Copies of this chain bind each other. A is one copy, B any other.
Amino acid sequence: MSATIRDVAHRAGVSISTVSRVLNDTARVSHTKRKRVLEAAEALGYAPNPAARTLLGKQTSSLGVLLPFVSGEFFSELLHSLDTAAQEAGYFLLISTSHRLRDEFRAARMMLEKRVDGLIVMAPELRPREAQVLASASEPIVFINTDAEGLPFDTVNFDNYGGSYALTQHLLDLGHRDIGIIRGPSGAKDADQRLEGYRAALAEAGLTPRTDWMVTGEYTLEAGYAVAQPLFATADRPTALLCANDYCAAGAIHAAHEAGLRVPEHLSVVGFDGLPSTLYTQPPLTTARVPIDEVGKIAVALLLDRIMDGPIGHEPVRRVVPVEVLVRASTAPPSKYL
């Protein structure tokens, strides 16, 4: 067993209260004893037992992270950003994934209760009414890219609407009129917002979207591939395609190549997220970069604020971080010779 505060006290010839005071710098202690305590702690390699601290109602030094799943670059980037920010503040990340349904979230939250000082939740598919189950939590929560309308939780969202609008505008500027979209899972807030941005841009250009060019996919390579194939089967196809995210776009490009279409000569494709690897796809992908790094940093900062302030909080903070359109080689003016 490792050394306890009792061992340190004994070795230093003082009471455990004094040791605690020195180590936490919580009250004045005479210089000589302070020095003895410090030496004893060093010699014994003493580290306070976190469980005992937590039991006293103190902090756990952990933040819980609830995610729907952890596949792909997006999540590793996010996790990286969260961990960096948390580590800087002396916190660990306790992660729990594979939660998409309401009950799974509730179960996970209960398990995490008492284990963490706060929760970071990303759950685009969770409706506000469903997210309500988390409201009973005693610890603070920050949502990422999730609809928390009417809920007393801070949120950090990306500008899904604005990004999608800007990407569509970019395609319109290039001269495209026949623009299709692979939207994300229906029911997911971010997918809905991106669809709205697409619609709004088309409407402003006086165009009405063709419903057969609006298909529903997932945020995966496989889905992008599978859903895009039928779109390319006939000659009556769009000249540009907005995809749910970068992965989906990569799948769509793959399908396009298989159908004998060249990108961007025959088909312009845009993604969403701005993952690092999109710079290295063939062709490099036009996309909207989500500043994942910043998102994670903000989320952790907001959460730590809540943890410090205690339960009596200010109004919920709603942050929307802008996305940046990156124009690359996957988009070009529509070819006149189809």
Contact = CB atoms under 8 A, between A and B. Distances in A.
Which of A2, A51, A94, A281 has the most CB atoms of chain B within a 10 A radius of its CB? A51
Contacts of A49: 55, 114
Contact of A97 (B1, B2, B80): B80
Contacts of A221: 276-277, 279-280
Interface string A235-261: 000000000000100110110010000
A52 B55 CA distance: 6
Interface residues of A, number: 53
A55 B47 contact: no
Contacts of A62: 94, 115
A84 interface: yes
Interface string A44-62: 0001011110110000101
Interface string A249-289: 01101100100000000000000000011011110100000
B51 A114 contact: yes
A210 to B, nearest CB: 26
A99 B248 CA distance: 32
Contacts of A20: none
